Amino acid sequence: MYLRMGWRNIWRNPRRTMVILTAIIIGVWSMIALGALMKGISNQMILNGIATLTGHIQIHAPGYSDDPVVENSIMAPEELEAKLAKLLPPGSHVSARIRVSATANNARHADGVTIVGVDPGAEAKVSFIGHAVKIGRYLNSNDPNGIVIGKALAEKFETGLGKKLVLMSQDRSKNIASRAFVIVGIYRAELEATEKQYIFMNKDVAQQMLGLGKGISEISILLPENDLTTPVTDRLRAALPIQKFDIRPWLELLPMARGYLKIYDTFILIWYLVVFTAMAFGIINTTLMAVYERMREFGLMKALGMKPAWIIEEVVVESLFILLLGVAVGDAISIATVYALSLHGIDLSAFAAGSEFAGVARVIYPLVDARNVISANAVVFVLGILISLYPAAKAARFTPREALLHN
Amino acid sequence: MISIDVKMAWRNVWRNPRRTILTICAIAFACILLVFMVSWQLGSYETMINAAVDIHMGHLQIQAKGYQQKHDINLAVSDPRSLGRILDKIPEVSAYTYRADAFTLASSRDRTYGVLVIGIDPEKEAQVSTLKRSLREGRYLSEGDTDQALVGKLLARNLRVRVGDELVLLGQGRDGSVAATVVRVKGIYSSGQDDFDRSSIQIPLGYFQDTYAMGDAVHEVVIRSDTLKDVPIVKTVLQHDIKKEGRRNLDVLDWTELMPGLIEVIQIDVTSGFIFYFVLIIVVAFSILNTFLMAILERKKEFGVFMAMGTTPTRLVKLLLMESTAMTLIGIVVGTCAGILLTWYFQVHGIFISGAEDILRQYGMPERIHPRLSIISIILGPSLVLVITFLTALYPALRVRRLRPVEAISST
């Protein structure tokens, strides 16, 4: 009975109901839209970070993360790789790399870079480089002099395909190792900083140049599912000797993404509360009005023996309907807009230098996260019911006498 | 006549105090939030810009054309002293210094890293950047020093050097010759910007020019103006004076050109902030639209009587707009004052966002953010609220014109 009465009551003044519904719909829309936008940014930051050499899990020699030099290498990786093959879930990909800082020189320029020595086949399955070469070609397993560099580095050095580049780095016996290489491919990456930093070459070439033997700097693991990161990290930490291997999941390796994830929830919750407060004033006022203009009605109901609790229930049911409608329509509209925006993404290319500076992708694809939608709905719904208790309690307190005398 | 209308409007506003107060609260809430948020945004931009300017960049730089993009050692500024004479004459310039730099291999006893070696004028540098103040160990360079160097803290850790240790520098001079020298670490600094502390060492400018065969040339003339606002003036004057001297191969770059990423991040933030404020105000507007609507619909009879007595609809509209404007203004004044107080409290104490340290470091910002009150941050939000609430009130008020006295009086 409450339900039918409540539903009819809210349509007694359709304009008023429509106005407050609009406030709720816009509010819910803005909550979900902001959530989707931030989720999109953080999601891309993570995917991009994982693809840019991090992988889901990395294994180093202890000390490498503080002091990434050739001395801190894993010298006998075969045993580790054999163990990994047994420990990792099927569908995982593993790439063993050399990664050391170096200087690149040509006739006109010199700058600091990072040499990444890879097994071309294994690396292509783990990181972005497999499909990122836009000019020339990717490395093949027989490339004693070939390197692949980023587009931004090529521009900075005023160089191109087939040109020479001299790379210098410290080898294992602390001497400067220097060698000339030929650029065979030029890649593009999401961030220019990546393009300027990494120079790819064959693993055995790097090992030879640095006097590393079979040694490697790191092992990067790409799992079939992101959700497996934590359990697999735990399993590896339990199975491998901790004093020989430093095993870290991506969350510990990407400080920006971690920072973003940390403030993300707080930030969204604050926005939810702010928007809710803005509409709360409207909900209270509208419900109060609806209650006061029906004072006589409530008085009469009470005179006929309706208990105060039932009146509260009646008023709350009315709010419930308005909130339900507002939330449902708000959800539908916001999911539709987010979907429309995610088809082509929000293009920040006009602010390329800015997005680079912030470490954000050039095109942002907003992403609806079920958790956000649920929490937005819950905030509006629960707090909405709570605040409508105030007008409801007012209505329950009308005595039949004063209510019937009220004009 | 007006005074009667005003009096009437004022009394009408308080016919239903609870409703009025709730409406005022909604408006005040929007104002508090906007004053605070806009101050917050402007404050953090200022912190970001100042951090970049103070640590290394300066407000403006004079460079050879193309140096900003290529960083080619050959694109140098010759005879920098003559530029100094121009700068001395510009009153808004508070300090300036000369720098030259080259990418070089630096080796300690057991480590080698590629670094940027920067030649600085110790005395002038101290007036332009925070380098001298950010020294953590050892001593700052002094006039007459030669083979001494300052090293960033993170670089010192990577190279495993301490004050007094030797560093071998191996680079390429301007004439293509090998530039090699040994310097002793005199001091270690920590600027707070990781990138800078990880990648640069400073040596005296004269010694740099000898080692890298630079003659008297430098790469950057770094300029500080009195305030950020003076930058455009200084830039215009400088461009004019340099042209007069006939030095066409020089560029005057301000901070927005030296760090294009920074200004674009600010632009993105301003735009997205504005969108969200707008959405918020619209939600508030719909929240209070009902109050304005009700205030009119429940008084149909009253308006009918007014009209029957000869009140023109225009006057009624005016009366109603006065009522809504009165509510809006109270809300705005209360909200703005409360917003100023709240912002001022945090301006003094700063805000610490736990978990945001990693992100803030990326922008070279301190862990505590201080919002900054300014005329703009106080006026911008509330005036936006004023305009939108006025437009909101317009719709119900104009409906009064459609009332017909007879129908209105007989309506229930």
Q: Between A and B, how many residue pairs show a Cβ–Cβ distance under 8 A?
A: 170
A2: pLDDT strictly greater than 80: no
* The predicted structure's pLDDT at residue A406: 66
The reply to whether B78 and B41 lie within a common domain is no
* The predicted structure's pLDDT at residue B220: 94
Q: Residues A341-364: what's their mean pLDDT?
A: 82
The reply to whether A313 and A278 lie within a common domain is yes
pLDDT tens for A359-400 read: 777 888 998 888 889 999 999 999 999 999 999 988 888 777
Query: Which among A41, A252, A295, A351 is the top mutation candidate for probing chain B, defined by the most B β-carbons within 10 Å of its own β-carbon?
Result: A351
B75 in any annotated domain:
yes
The reply to whether A96 and A198 lie within a common domain is yes
CB within 8 Å of chain A, chain B residues 336-375: 353, 355-359, 362
Q: What's the mean per-residue pLDDT of chain A?
A: 89
A365 in any annotated domain:
yes
B61 in any annotated domain:
no
> Which residues neighbour A238 within 8 Å (Cβ) at sequence distance 6 or greater?
none
* The predicted structure's pLDDT at residue A394: 85
Last residue of a domain, one of B225, B248, B271: B248
B255 in any annotated domain:
no
* The predicted structure's pLDDT at residue B15: 84
B265 CB near a chain A CB, below 8 Å?
yes
* The predicted structure's pLDDT at residue B112: 87
Of B107, B113, B286, which has the smallest distance from its Cβ to A23's Cβ? Answer: B286
Q: Residues B37-53: what's their mean pLDDT?
A: 89
Residue A115's pLDDT band (cuts 50, 70, 90): very high
A285: closest chain B residue by CA: B19
A247 in any annotated domain:
no
Binary contact (A27, B267; C-beta < 8 A): no
Binary contact (A263, B362; C-beta < 8 A): no
Residue B412's pLDDT band (cuts 50, 70, 90): low
* The predicted structure's pLDDT at residue A364: 86
Binary contact (B291, A285; C-beta < 8 A): yes
B356: pLDDT strictly greater than 80: no
Last residue of a domain, one of A206, A222, A238: A222
C-alpha to C-alpha distance for A69 and A53, rounded to whole angstroms: 17
What is the model's pTM? 0.83
Q: How near does any CA of chain B get to the CA of A107, in Å?
A: 9
B367: pLDDT strictly greater than 90: no
Residue B307's pLDDT band (cuts 50, 70, 90): confident
Last residue of a domain, one of A201, A222, A243: A222
Q: How near does any CA of chain A get to the CA of B103, in Å?
A: 6
The reply to whether B243 and B284 lie within a common domain is no
B342 in any annotated domain:
yes
* The predicted structure's pLDDT at residue B209: 94
B58 in any annotated domain:
no
* The predicted structure's pLDDT at residue A210: 93
The reply to whether B222 and B99 lie within a common domain is yes
* The predicted structure's pLDDT at residue A407: 56
pLDDT tens for A177-212 read: 899 999 999 999 988 889 999 999 999 999 999 999
Structure letter (DSSP) for residue B77:
B
- Closest Cα to residue A200, out of A297, A130, A298, A111? A130
Q: How near does any CA of chain B get to the CA of A174, in Å?
A: 6
* The predicted structure's pLDDT at residue B29: 94
Q: Contacts of residue A281 in chain B, CB cutoff 8 Å? A: 22-23, 25-26, 29, 284, 287-288
Report angle CA A111, A114, A116 to the nearest 5 degrees. 145
> Which residues neighbour B364 within 8 Å (Cβ) at sequence distance 6 or greater?
B48, B51, B52, B55, B192, B193
Hey, which of A125-134, A248-257, B296-305 has the most confident mean pLDDT? A125-134
The reply to whether B397 and B269 lie within a common domain is yes
B383 in any annotated domain:
yes
In the numeric block, which tokens belong to residue A139? 């490395």
Structural domain boundaries, residue A175:
57-222
Binary contact (B287, A285; C-beta < 8 A): yes
Residue B225's pLDDT band (cuts 50, 70, 90): very high
Q: Residues B97-114: what's their mean pLDDT?
A: 90
C-alpha to C-alpha distance for A148 and A154, rounded to whole angstroms: 10
The reply to whether A45 and A92 lie within a common domain is no
The reply to whether A336 and A397 lie within a common domain is yes
The reply to whether B49 and B97 lie within a common domain is no
The reply to whether A196 and A282 lie within a common domain is no
Of A16, A102, A258, which has the smallest distance from its Cβ to B290's Cβ? Answer: A16
Specify the number of domains making up chain A: 2
A106: closest chain B residue by CA: B172
Of A284, A285, A351, which has the smallest distance from its Cβ to B264's Cβ? Answer: A351
Residue A11's pLDDT band (cuts 50, 70, 90): confident
The reply to whether B389 and B275 lie within a common domain is yes
A1: pLDDT strictly greater than 80: no
The reply to whether A83 and A43 lie within a common domain is no
Q: Contacts of residue A192 in chain B, CB cutoff 8 Å? A: none
Residue A262's pLDDT band (cuts 50, 70, 90): confident
A229 in any annotated domain:
no
The reply to whether B49 and B70 lie within a common domain is no
Specify the number of domains making up chain B: 2
Binary contact (A20, B112; C-beta < 8 A): no
B357: closest chain A residue by CA: A259
The reply to whether B74 and B212 lie within a common domain is yes
- Contact status, residue A360 vs residue A41, Cβ threshold 8 Å: yes
Of B158, B289, B294, which has the smallest distance from its Cβ to A289's Cβ? Answer: B294
B253 in any annotated domain:
no
Q: A148-187 in b/e burial notation, b at 16+ Cβ within 10 A?
A: bbbbbbbbbbebeeeeebebbbbbbeeeebeeebebbbbb
B256 in any annotated domain:
no
Binary contact (B276, A260; C-beta < 8 A): no
Percent of chain B past pLDDT 90, that is, above it, reads: 49
Last residue of a domain, one of A167, A198, A222: A222
* The predicted structure's pLDDT at residue B2: 60
Binary contact (B171, A256; C-beta < 8 A): no
A252 in any annotated domain:
no
The reply to whether A78 and A210 lie within a common domain is yes
B33: closest chain A residue by CA: A274
Of A103, A277, A357, which has the smallest distance from its Cβ to B265's Cβ? Answer: A357
Q: Contacts of residue A30 in chain B, CB cutoff 8 Å? A: 276, 279-280, 283
The reply to whether A65 and A196 lie within a common domain is yes
Percent of chain A past pLDDT 70, that is, above it, reads: 99
Binary contact (A26, B358; C-beta < 8 A): no
* The predicted structure's pLDDT at residue B74: 87
Binary contact (B110, A279; C-beta < 8 A): no
A316 in any annotated domain:
yes
B260: closest chain A residue by CA: A353
B382: pLDDT strictly greater than 90: yes
Q: Contacts of residue B277 in chain A, CB cutoff 8 Å? A: none
The reply to whether A20 and A77 lie within a common domain is no
The reply to whether B210 and B328 lie within a common domain is no
A286 in any annotated domain:
yes
B362: pLDDT strictly greater than 70: no
The reply to whether B270 and B223 lie within a common domain is no
Query: Which among A357, A388, A397, A407 is the top mutation candidate for probing chain B, defined by the most B β-carbons within 10 Å of its own β-carbon?
Result: A357
The reply to whether B233 and B378 lie within a common domain is no
The reply to whether B90 and B163 lie within a common domain is yes
A245 in any annotated domain:
no
> Which residues neighbour A134 within 8 Å (Cβ) at sequence distance 6 or greater?
A151, A186, A187, A188
The three-class DSSP label of residue A398 is: coil
Last residue of a domain, one of B248, B281, B308: B248
* The predicted structure's pLDDT at residue B206: 94
pLDDT tens for B57-76 read: 999 999 999 898 878 888 89
DSSP letters, A102-167, are: EEEE-SS-EEEEEEEEE-HHHHHHHSGGGGTEEEE----S--SSEEEEEHHHHHHTT--TT-EEEE
Percent of chain A past pLDDT 90, that is, above it, reads: 47
The reply to whether A45 and A158 lie within a common domain is no
Structural domain boundaries, residue B217:
66-248
Q: Contacts of residue A334 in chain B, CB cutoff 8 Å? A: none
* The predicted structure's pLDDT at residue A292: 84
At residue A64, φ and ψ (nearest 5 deg) are -65, -40
Q: Residues A33-43: what's their mean pLDDT?
A: 88
Residue B405's pLDDT band (cuts 50, 70, 90): confident
The reply to whether A188 and A209 lie within a common domain is yes
Residue B13's pLDDT band (cuts 50, 70, 90): confident
B29 CB near a chain A CB, below 8 Å?
yes
- Contact status, residue B176 vs residue B228, Cβ threshold 8 Å: no
The reply to whether A180 and A34 lie within a common domain is no
CB within 8 Å of chain A, chain B residues 125-184: 158, 171-172
Of the candidate ranges A35-49, A59-73, B354-368, the one whose mean pLDDT is the lowest: B354-368
A250 in any annotated domain:
no
pLDDT tens for A294-334 read: 888 888 888 888 888 888 888 899 899 999 999 999 999 99
